[in-house]
Amino acid sequence: MGLLKSFVTVGTPFASMLIYVFYIGYQKRSRIYRLSQQGVAMPDGWSWWFGHLLVLDQKLEKLPHDANVHIAMEDMIKDYEDTGYFLMDYWPVFEPVLMAFSPEISAQVSSKQDLLKPPSQEESFKPMVGGPSLITMIGTPWKFWRSLFSSGFSPSHMLSLVPGLVDTMDVFCERLLDNVDGDIFYLDDMAMPCRASTCPLSEYYSRLAFLLESSNPSEPAKASNPMVPWAFHGYFHQKELQKRFNEMKEERATNSSYQRKTAKSVIALAIEEHISQKHKDSEETFEDLDLDAQFADIAANQIRMFLFAGNDTTATTFVYTFHLLSQNPSSLDKLRKEHDGVFKSELDAGDQLRKEPALIIQCRYTLAVIKETLRLFPPASAIRDGTAGISVVDGKGNLVPTENLNVTAVHHYVHVHPRFWPRARDFIPERWLVEPRHELYPTSPTTSYRPFEHGPRNCIAQTLVNNELRVAVIMTARKFDIKPAYDEWDSRRSEREGTWTRTMRTLCLKGEEPKTVLGERAYQTARSGAHPADRYPCRVSLANP
């Protein structure tokens, strides 16, 4: 009797949980089934038990283990070019997703309907960002912080930062010089610390970059836990925000003729606005004001958000720019000739850029190279949360409901859609310089080119990113030749294989893992920011020894 009672006591909650899971699963799958019956585009292979998880797994088996999951959908994209989307049921791993790869649907999602970010994004970014940020905020909080930061990212302010970007690139060029004619090194690893020291978030950012680079855990630890360097950010940012708050309120208290400065970091702008608002809403003197804890928490999150988002995406684009230039020598030659024309015979353009930051605007072909790189290797896609009562119109004119679905604009495929991009897979910077009637000119470039997205939630820092990349290319392209070294790197890795692995291969019990995606060895990986495979092993030499 006692045994039976124990069994009932333990088994009842378990059975209840099992019934609940089956009930929720049935509800989720029933919704997808009804959508398929209504004509919503969906790949074959869907099942009541697994949705499309087995379909995706079959696709991923044909790719390297770390390949970006969106790449696995290449053949499905071709099957649904007429609709511009298809539905993938990933539950219970993720919510079901409308995978949109047409510019029209992408524009509806981001601009016309302006769907919100899904709640799951905040949890996904929390380990890096710490909590609510511009990436995940919605409604009034998002509008407040977006408006607050806008002036800090104005084009004129971004241009004033060029001398600082030059200083950073001087350090990077020295590091490249150290590797000239040396052994293989990882350009992706080198680019990340470089990018971190350029972000104009605060006056103390260079110290933060120094601390990040000084934390040097062993290589296995970095690989298994890439978030380790982020662990101290919350404490460090809170401390520095408090220090900056005290400095600024003291300046306001002691300087009766105080006026806002036009060029300052976005965080300084936020603190200044916070001081002004607190002083306005209270009868306290400037000396008696305290930094609001909630404001400090969110401001710290915003710092981490800019650091995280900017670090990954800009560094990735920098690496892919040189990868594509190494594969397209005629484009590299045109780029160098442009720099010769703008900066004359000076190989080191840094001094000229410090004196005349606006010279980067004259480098039109350089910007075209960067835009073409972002087209072929976009560092991210855009995901939005479907809403009851809101539908998108597909390529056939059908209404597709978004309720209980996520909608992802897959930039990788939007950017190579053959209906919008002539010679879509080719690297052709000239397409950004031709007149609208030219055969290379893209159809509807305002909607078919979306690395920074469009609509109210477009990337606030896109001008900064373009300036950073232009300065980086200007200061390195004429000095260095950077070549991928994947063949040599693969050979070395093969030589390091253990006896057990070799035996398994000999007995045909372990096959060779694919090393390329669509013929590209430097394929985009699942790592945040879509970094190149294996951190981009390469060699560097002087362009004019």
- Omega before 442 cis (within 30°)? no
* Residue 459 assigned as binding residue: yes
Distance from the first to the final alpha carbon of the chain: 89
Q: What region, left, alpha or beta, does residue 72 occupy, with left being phi > 0 and alpha being psi -120 to 50 degrees?
A: alpha
What single string gives the DSSP state of each residue in 325-386? HHH-HHHHHHHHHHHHHHHTT-S--HHHHHH-GGGGGG-HHHHHHHHHHHHHS-S--EEEE-
What is the rounded radius of gyration, in angstroms, for the C-alpha atoms of the chain?
A: 26
Say which residues have a Cβ less than 8 Å from residue 104's Cβ, sequence separation at least 6. Answer: 84, 393, 395, 447
* Torsion angle, alpha carbons of 332, 337, 343, 348, to 10: 40
Q: What region, left, alpha or beta, does residue 469 occupy, with left being phi > 0 and alpha being psi -120 to 50 degrees?
A: alpha
Say which residues have a Cβ less than 8 Å from residue 136's Cβ, sequence separation at least 6. Answer: 117, 121, 122, 125, 129
What single string gives the DSSP state of each residue in 225-272? -TTGGGTTHHHHHHHHHHHHHHHHHHHHHH-TT----SS--HHHHHHH
Is the Cα dihedral 320, 325, 331, 334 positive or negative? Answer: positive
Distance CA 76, CA 70 (A): 11
Given a contact cutoff of 8 angstroms between Cβ atoms, the answer to whether 448 and 411 are in contact is: no
- For the chain, the 3-state helix, strand and coil shares in percent, each to the nearest 5, are 55, 10, 35
The Cβ of residue 134 has, within 10 Å, a number of other Cβ atoms equal to: 23
User: Which amino acid does the sequence have at 1?
Assistant: M
User: Which amino acid does the sequence have at 284?
Assistant: E
The DSSP element (H or E) to which 483 belongs, if any, is strand 480-484
Numbered residues of the known binding site for heme: 459
Indicate the annotated binding residues. 459
